[in-house]
Chain A
Amino acid sequence: MLAYIFRRLFYAIPILIGVNLLTFALFFVVNTPDDMARMQLGVKRVTPEAIERWKVERGYDKPLFFNAAAMGVGQLTQTVFFDKSLRMFALEFGRSDDGRDIGNEIRTRMGPSLAIAVPTFLLGLYVTVSLALFLVLFRATALDVWGVVGCVMLMSISGLFYIIGGQWLVSKVWHLVPISGYTSGLDGFRFLILPVVISVVASIGANTRWYRTLFLEEISKDYVRTARAKGLSETTVLFRHVLRNAMIPILTGVVVVIPLLFMGSLLVESFFGIPGLGSYTIDAINAQDFAIVRAMVFIGSVLYILGLLLTDISYTWVDPRVRLG
C-alpha cells in the first residue's frame, strides 16, 4: 500500500503544476498586472509611475510566461509564472498584494472555518444517513412517499433562502441565537448553532435521497434476505448489514470532502460573519489579489488530491476484498 500512496503522491506533482498553470492563465486573462496595481493603489490620483513602481516591487514587471529578453533557461525562469509558482511547492505562500503574510492569515482563519465545517459535516452525515435509513425502514409506505416528497421540496429551495429565512425566523422572530458574528472559545458556540443547523437542514434533501437510493439497492440483495430469514429484526438488518455494505459508495462521496473542510464555506461564512477561509477567498477574488487566489486554489487542489487518496485507503478499511497495489 505504501508504494501505492507514494505513486499517487508522485502523480500529484504534474496535476498541481497543471492546476497552477491553469489558475495563472485564467487569472491573467481577466486581470493584468496594471489592473492589480490599480486595485491595490486605489482609483484616485493613481499615476502611471506609481503603477510601474508597484509592479516592479512585487515582480509583476516581468513577462508572464516567456521572457524573450533573457538568455537560455532564464527565458522560462525570469517570468512571473516561475517566480510566483516555485515557492508554492514548498508551501511558502509569501505575502498578499496588500502586504500581509498569507500563511499567517490561513493559520488564523482555519479555526473558524473548521468550527463551522466539522460539526456541519458530522451532524449532517448522522442526520441524513439516519433519515435515509428511517425512510428505508418504512419503504413503500405513506411515510416513505411523503419523506421523498419532503426531500425533493428541500432540494428545490435555494441555499440562500435557508440562510436568510433561518436568520429571520430563528434569530429575528424567535430571538434564540445571534444573527451573525463569531468569537473564539466557549461563547462562540452561540454563533455556531444557527449556521450549523441551517447547513445541515439545507443538505438533508439531496443527501437523504442519495443515501436512501444506496440503501434500497443494497436491501434487495441476497444476503439481506438471508439475514431476515435468520430472524434478525429489520433494524439489525439495516444498521448492521445494509449500512456496512453501503459504505463504499458513501465513502466515495464523504471522505473526499473531509480535507476540503479546511477551505470553509463561501456563502455561510459571508452571511454569518465567520472569518474563515471561504470568505478569505471571496475577498481575494474581489480584490484581484492573485497571491491569495493562487495560494487558495493550490491548497484546495492539494486537499482534494489528499481526499481522493484517503478515499482509496478507506475502501480497504471497509471492504477487506479491496487491495491497493
Chain B
Amino acid sequence: MLHSVRFWVALLLLAGLVGCRPVWNDPYPASEGEANVMYSAFTNRPKHLDPVQSYSEDEATFLYQIYEPPLQYHYLQRPYALIPAAAAEMPKVILLDAAGRELPPDADPAKVAESQYEIRIQPGIRYQPHPAFAQRDDGSSRYLPMPAEDLARARQLGDFAETGTRELIAADYVNQIKRLAHPRLHSPILELMGDYIIGLKALHARLQKDPAAQAWPATHIDLTRYPLDGVQVVDRYTYRVRLRGAYPQFLYWLAMPFFAPVPPEVEQFFEQPGMAERNLTLDWWPIGTGAYMLAENDPNARMTLVRNPNFHGETYPCEGEAADQGAGLLADCGKAVPFIERVVFSREKESIPYWNKFLQGYYDASGVSSDNFDQAVQLGGQGDVLLTDEMRERGIRLTTAVAPTVMYTGFNMLDPVVGGGSERARKLRLALSIAIDQEEFISVFLNGRGLTAMHPLPPDIFGYREGEAGINPYVFDWVDGRAKRKSIEEARRLLAEAGYPGGRDAATGEPLIINLDTTGTGLGDKARIDWLTKQFRKIDLQLVVRSTDYNRFQDKIRKGNAQLFFWGWNADYPDPENFLFLLYGPQSKVASQGENAANYANPEYDRLFERMKAMADGPERQALIDRMMAILQHDAPWIWGFYEKAYVLQHGWLMNRKPGKIIRSALKYQRIDTALRARQREAWNRPDIGPLFAMAGLALVVVGPAVLAYRRRERATGRKAA
C-alpha cells in the first residue's frame, strides 16, 4: 500500500514538473517563456576573461560585450570602419620627427620618429555595479579590506551583498596599458606592443623585480607607483599614448579589450587574500562599462550576460551597405541599444544536440556544419545558395559573408626541393598551384562555403581587387568574364621546366616525392588526403602524408622540418598589414619564431611591406599592395587556398543580425520578437505521448502471456486430472 502511495506521489511530482509547461522539451525555465532573452551556445570554455590575456574567439564572444575600449567598428558599414565607443571622438594623432617637430598627417613614415595618440573619453560613463566600488557611509570601501564573514560566504560575485559604481576616467585606461607589462599576466601582445609603446618593455623589466609580480595567490601590485613613459593621463578624461615610429594599425588595437579600462581598485579587490582560491579573480569576473555584464560564470554549463543598468547609451546605426535597407537592417535606426535584456550561453560540446535544439527553436541562430549542410541548404541552378523547404517553412533565414581569414598550403621556403628562390623550385611550386584544384576542394569538402584565394588578402580588406585585375595570372586565365584555372598540361609543362618531366627527376630518373605534414588523422581528413593525393597524381607526382599530433606538427614548423603544410590565419583587424606580414621576412618562423610559417623572404617584398604598413589607405598604398601581390604570385610561397565563407542561419524572430567576424560587440544591436518565438516553439514542440502508450502496450503483449503461462505452469500438478 505504502509503495503504491509513493509511486503515485512520484508520478504526480513528475507530472507537476513537466505538465505545467506547454512544451516538455524546453531546456529553459518556464518563467522565461516570453522573456527578452537571447539563447546562444559556446563549445569551448573560455580560458581567460582578463582583457590583457584573452586572445581567442571563444572568449571574445563574452569580453566584447562587457568591456568598452575607446573605439569600435561600425556595425553595418563595409569595408569595416572604426568609430568611437567610449571615446568622445576619434583619437587625435600627432606625428613627430626625430627632432620633436610635428609632421603633417601624410608624412613619409620613414621620417616619423614618434606617434602620439591623444584619446578623449566621454564624461559621465559609469561602470557596471560591482562590489569593488561599494562604499560605507563614511566613504571608505566596503570590501577593502575584505571582512572574513563576507569572504566565507562568497563563491561568486553575486554573493557580495553590496555593490557600487563610479565614473570611468582616463587613468583606468592607463592602468590597463600598464597591465600589459605585468609579468604574471602573460599578455600575448606584450612583445608586439613593447616594440611600439615607449617604456613598456622597461616597465615589464621593473615589474619583474617586484616579488609580488610572481606570487600565487596573486598579490596586489599598485601600478600607479610604476610610471610608464609612453602613456600619460592628460586630464580626467584624456590620456596620451606615445609610440615609436609610425604605426597606424594602433587604432585597430584601440578597438580591442587589450586597451579597455580596468579600474585599479577592482584589481585590489580581487587580489585580496582568499579571493583567488575561490576563483574570484578579474580573469573570472570581468568588469566593464559595456552594454552587458557577466551575471553567471559557469563555463562548464552556462554563461549569462545581463544588460548593464549603467550603460551610457548608444543608438542603432542609420547607415550601412546598400543591401542593408532591403534586409531590414536599418529598421531600428536611431533606437537605443541594447535591445535584449539577457543573453544565455549554454555549453554545447557536440554539434548534433546544438543543431537539433536550433531546429526546435531553443537557439536563436546557428552556423551550418558539413553534417547538416544538406538539411539546411541547397544549391540552385545558377550555383546560388538556397534554403531547403524545411528551413523556409520554419521561417529560418540564411546570411553569408566571406570571413577575414585565409587558408593556405604553405611551402617551406627553406626546403631544398620546394623552397628557395631558384627558377626550378618556383616552377615546381607553380605547377602544384595549378594542379591542386581549390574550386573542387571548396565544392567537395566545404559545400561551396569558400572563395578561391588569389593571394593572401580576403575581400573587404583594403587592397583586395575583384575581377580580372584581382586574379593570379600564374594559375588562372580570365575567360568569358570569370577566372579559369590553367590546364593540367600547363602544370606538366612547368614541372618539366622545373626538371621533373613526368614527375621524375631528369638527372637521376627518380620519382619526385613531396611530403605533406598534417595533423589530420580522422575520417574526414582521410578523404581530404585521398583527394590531395589524386591532385598530385594528375601531374605524376607522389605525395607522402606525414600525419602527426599538433604538438609535433608545430615543432616541425618551428624548426623548418616540414616541406608542405596546411595553415591558416584569422585576422586581428581589417588591415592588409595583418595579412601581408605573414610573408614578411623578419617574421620567419625558423629565424625569429614569427608568423611567417613558410619562411619566405624576398628583399623587395620586405621593403615594400615596410613602406606599406605605415601608410594610410589610398592610391599609393594600393599601388604598393598590387606590386606586393605580383611578387607573391610570381614566387608562389603558398598555394593560395581559400577564404572561408561563413553561413549563418537565424530564426525569423531574430532581427538585426549581420555577419562580420571582425565585429565582435554585435549583441547590443540584435533584437528578438519574443512573442513570435514563444508561439513557434509551442507549435514545433508539442509533446507526443502516443509512442509511450504504444511501448507500454507492446510490453504487455510480450510479458502478459508469459506471466500467464508461468502461472499456469506453477499451478499445474504433476499428474493430469482423471
A contact set with B: CB distance below 8 Å: 30-32, 35, 38, 40-50, 53-54, 57, 95, 98-101, 104, 108-109, 112, 137-138, 143, 164, 167-168, 171-183, 186-187, 189-191, 233-234, 270-273, 275, 279-280, 283, 287-288
Residue of A nearest to B688 (CB): A174
- Nearest chain A CB to B522 CB, angstrom units: 14
Number of cross-chain contacts by CB at 8 Å: 150
Q: What is the bound-complex CA distance between A243 and B502, given in angstroms?
A: 75
Whether A48 pairs with B593 at a CB distance below 8 angstroms is yes
Q: B27, B47, B549, B714: which contacts A98 (Cβ < 8 A)?
A: B47
Q: B27, B45, B214: which contacts A181 (Cβ < 8 A)?
A: B27
A38-B554, A42-B55, A175-B24 known; A187+B29 contact, CB < 8 A: yes
Contacts of B5 in A (CB 8 A): none
Whether A53 pairs with B188 at a CB distance below 8 angstroms is no
Interface size class of B (residues with CB under 8 A): 35 or more
Whether B687 pairs with A174 at a CB distance below 8 angstroms is yes
The 6 residue pairs across chains A and B that have the minimum distance between CB atoms: A275-B300, A178-B27, A181-B27, A275-B301, A35-B551, A180-B353
Whether a CB of chain A sits under 8 angstroms from the CB of B283 is yes
Whether A181 pairs with B346 at a CB distance below 8 angstroms is yes
Whether B687 pairs with A279 at a CB distance below 8 angstroms is no
- Nearest chain B CB to A18 CB, angstrom units: 26
Whether a CB of chain A sits under 8 angstroms from the CB of B689 is yes
Q: What is the bound-complex CA distance between A46 and B276, given in angstroms?
A: 26
Given A45-B595, A174-B692, A186-B17: 9 more A-B contacts, CB < 8 Å: A44-B572, A50-B186, A57-B184, A172-B356, A174-B687, A176-B25, A178-B25, A270-B350, A279-B349
Whether B24 pairs with A177 at a CB distance below 8 angstroms is yes
Contacts of B29 in A (CB 8 A): 183, 187
Whether A271 pairs with B18 at a CB distance below 8 angstroms is no
Whether A275 pairs with B298 at a CB distance below 8 angstroms is yes
Whether a CB of chain A sits under 8 angstroms from the CB of B437 is no
Q: What is the bound-complex CA distance between A280 and B299, given in angstroms?
A: 11
A45-B191, A180-B348 known; A95+B17 contact, CB < 8 A: no
Whether B348 pairs with A190 at a CB distance below 8 angstroms is no
16 contacts between A and B (CB under 8 A): A35-B551, A42-B188, A45-B55, A54-B186, A101-B279, A104-B279, A109-B300, A167-B352, A167-B353, A176-B689, A177-B18, A187-B17, A190-B17, A273-B346, A279-B300, A288-B551
Whether B47 pairs with A172 at a CB distance below 8 angstroms is no
Contacts of A138 in B (CB 8 A): 706, 710
A167-B352, A171-B25, A279-B349 known; A234+B301 contact, CB < 8 A: no
A178-B25, A187-B17 known; A233+B714 contact, CB < 8 A: yes
B595-622 interface code vs A (CB 8 A; 1 in, 0 out): 1000000000000000000000000000
Q: What is the bound-complex CA distance between A179 and B357, given in angstroms?
A: 7
A48-B593, A98-B48, A187-B29 known; A280+B300 contact, CB < 8 A: yes
Contacts of A191 in B (CB 8 A): 27
Whether A179 pairs with B350 at a CB distance below 8 angstroms is no
Whether B25 pairs with A179 at a CB distance below 8 angstroms is yes
Q: Which of B48, B186, B685 has the most CB of A within 10 A?
A: B186
Whether a CB of chain A sits under 8 angstroms from the CB of B347 is yes
- Nearest chain B CB to A53 CB, angstrom units: 7
Contacts of B691 in A (CB 8 A): 174
Q: What is the bound-complex CA distance between A283 and B572, given in angstroms?
A: 26
Contacts of A272 in B (CB 8 A): 353
Whether A46 pairs with B26 at a CB distance below 8 angstroms is no
Contacts of A182 in B (CB 8 A): 301
Q: What is the bound-complex CA distance between A280 and B349, given in angstroms?
A: 12
Residue of B nearest to A177 (CB): B25
- Nearest chain B CB to A303 CB, angstrom units: 21
Contacts of B350 in A (CB 8 A): 180, 270-271
Contacts of A40 in B (CB 8 A): 47
- Nearest chain A CB to B213 CB, angstrom units: 10
Whether A273 pairs with B17 at a CB distance below 8 angstroms is no
Q: What is the bound-complex CA distance between A272 and B27, given in angstroms?
A: 11
Residue of B nearest to A194 (CB): B25
A45-B595, A179-B353 known; A190+B24 contact, CB < 8 A: yes
Contacts of B45 in A (CB 8 A): 283
Contacts of B55 in A (CB 8 A): 42, 44-45
A46-B188, A270-B350, A273-B347 known; A172+B214 contact, CB < 8 A: no
Contacts of A275 in B (CB 8 A): 298, 300-301, 347
Contacts of A99 in B (CB 8 A): 281, 283
Whether A50 pairs with B188 at a CB distance below 8 angstroms is yes
Chain B stretch 377-414: residues in CB contact (< 8 A) with chain A? none
Q: Which of A30, A50, A100, A112 has the most CB of B within 10 A?
A: A100
Q: B23, B56, B186, B349: which contacts A270 (Cβ < 8 A)?
A: B349
Q: A98, A172, A175, A187: which contacts B686 (Cβ < 8 A)?
A: A175
- Nearest chain A CB to B571 CB, angstrom units: 11
- Nearest chain A CB to B298 CB, angstrom units: 7
A45-B595, A95-B216, A174-B691 known; A137+B24 contact, CB < 8 A: no
Contacts of A168 in B (CB 8 A): 356
A138-B710, A175-B688, A181-B27 known; A271+B353 contact, CB < 8 A: yes
Q: What is the bound-complex CA distance between A283 and B353, given in angstroms?
A: 18
Whether A41 pairs with B188 at a CB distance below 8 angstroms is yes
Whether B191 pairs with A273 at a CB distance below 8 angstroms is no
Whether B356 pairs with A45 at a CB distance below 8 angstroms is no
Q: What is the bound-complex CA distance between A109 and B641, given in angstroms?
A: 43
Q: What is the bound-complex CA distance between A176 and B693, given in angstroms?
A: 13
- Nearest chain B CB to A306 CB, angstrom units: 25
- Nearest chain B CB to A23 CB, angstrom units: 17
Whether a CB of chain A sits under 8 angstroms from the CB of B278 is yes
Contacts of A48 in B (CB 8 A): 593
- Nearest chain B CB to A229 CB, angstrom units: 12
- Nearest chain B CB to A94 CB, angstrom units: 9
Contacts of A187 in B (CB 8 A): 17, 29
Chain B stretch 327-381: residues in CB contact (< 8 A) with chain A? 346-350, 352-353, 356-357, 359-360, 362
Residue of B nearest to A48 (CB): B593
Contacts of B551 in A (CB 8 A): 30-32, 35, 288
B21-43 interface code vs A (CB 8 A; 1 in, 0 out): 00111110100000000000000
Residue of A nearest to B56 (CB): A42
Q: What is the bound-complex CA distance between A314 and B499, given in angstroms?
A: 77
Q: A30, A42, A50: which contacts B191 (Cβ < 8 A)?
A: A50
- Nearest chain B CB to A109 CB, angstrom units: 7
Residue of A nearest to B59 (CB): A42
- Nearest chain B CB to A49 CB, angstrom units: 7
Residue of A nearest to B702 (CB): A143
Whether a CB of chain A sits under 8 angstroms from the CB of B676 is no
- Nearest chain A CB to B662 CB, angstrom units: 15
Residue of B nearest to A287 (CB): B47
Q: What is the bound-complex CA distance between A98 and B353, given in angstroms?
A: 28
Whether A189 pairs with B14 at a CB distance below 8 angstroms is yes
